[in-house]
Amino acid sequence: MARPLNGTRAGAAIRPRPLRDASAVIGDPDALREMAAADGYLFVRNAVSRSTARLVRAEVLAACARRGWLAPDAPTHKGIARAGAAEDATQHALLALQPDIQIRPSFGTLRTDPGLLTVLKHTFAARPASGYGDVCRIVFPAALERTTPPHQDHFYIRGSTAMWTAWIPLGDCPISLGGLAVLPGSHTSGLRPHDVGEGNERAIDVSEDAGWAGASYRLGDVLLFNALTVHRALPNLTANRIRLSADFRYQPA
């Protein structure tokens, strides 16, 4: 995805308003689809198995430890980065890590979590089909230049605008650790120009006070959003903690 051009574009000044919680209506398909159509996203607390998400987290951190990215004097499950690890964890190294994670049975189990598939089934009014570009994301502290700026997934993935992404934090994720912010209702404007960026990487020029919505996420939460919904990462402002998450993409079968 695109990289920010400077610290401001990294989103350090953003104070997102709260996401609308769809947890109360996940058993009501009509209400769920109404929220999805209006907002372009669905935020559901405790949507997936915490034990499965915790197992994926353990697998990712074990992979990070094998690469020497974790502080040797801290427990692995804490996800504490070794000083200088962000420089070692290059884009190439992070890409090479993907097969190590995605072959793990726990990653596939999280993709097919019954609670997540139920929300998608109600949203689509059809069986959800997966396999449209899954990824595990590892965000290091002190690496603001890597913070993903505003964009729409459809710009990069193309295909159907009926595609939705499920973003799942692999651990509790307060605002200071990063997470995602979305621009509610932005999916209704179609594909926007992605004119900001360097080289082949592009992003949307959106102000910090455009009405971003986010949350302090907890293990088990899911944020789902449409391929045309404008979203961005928030910066990891912690001193030494790694932010872990997984993206799974689905379309109506």
- Specify the CATH number for the domain of residue 71: 2.60.120.620
Under a CB-based contact definition with an 8 Å cutoff, are residues 180 and 231 in contact? Answer: yes
Q: Residue 30: inside a domain, yes or no?
A: no
- Residue 21 falls inside a structural domain: no
- What is the structure's pLDDT at 158? 87
pLDDT of residue 3: 41
133: in domain: yes
Q: Is residue 24 part of a domain?
A: no
Of 162, 157, 138, 158, which Cα lies nearest the Cα of 148?
138
Point out the residues of the chain with pLDDT beneath 70: 1-10, 198-200
Q: How many structural domains is the chain composed of?
A: 1
Q: What is the DSSP letter of 66?
A: H
Going from the C-alpha of 30 to that of each of 34, 41, 122, 249, the distances in angstroms are 6, 15, 8, 22
**According to the model, what pLDDT value does residue 10 have?**
65
Please give the backbone phi and psi of residue 31, each rounded to the nearest 5 degrees, phi first: -65, -35
Domain assignment present for residue 25? The answer is no
Which pLDDT belongs to residue 199? 57
Q: Considering the domain boundaries, does residue 13 fall inside one?
A: no
Say if 8 falls within a structural domain.
no
What's residue 145's pLDDT? 87
Torsion of CA 187, 188, 190, 194, to 10 degrees: -50
Residue 181 counted as domain residue: yes
Tell me how far apart the alpha carbons of residues 135 and 252 are, in angstroms, rounded to a whole number: 20
Q: Which pLDDT score, from 0 to 100, does residue 60 have?
A: 98
Distances 239 to 3, 176, 226 between C-alpha atoms, Å: 21, 10, 32
User: Could you list the residue range(s) of the whole structural domain that residue 200 is in?
Assistant: 40-252
The predicted pLDDT at position 1 comes to 41
Distance set, CA 66 to CA 37, 71, 90, 95, 97 (Å): 43, 12, 15, 15, 11
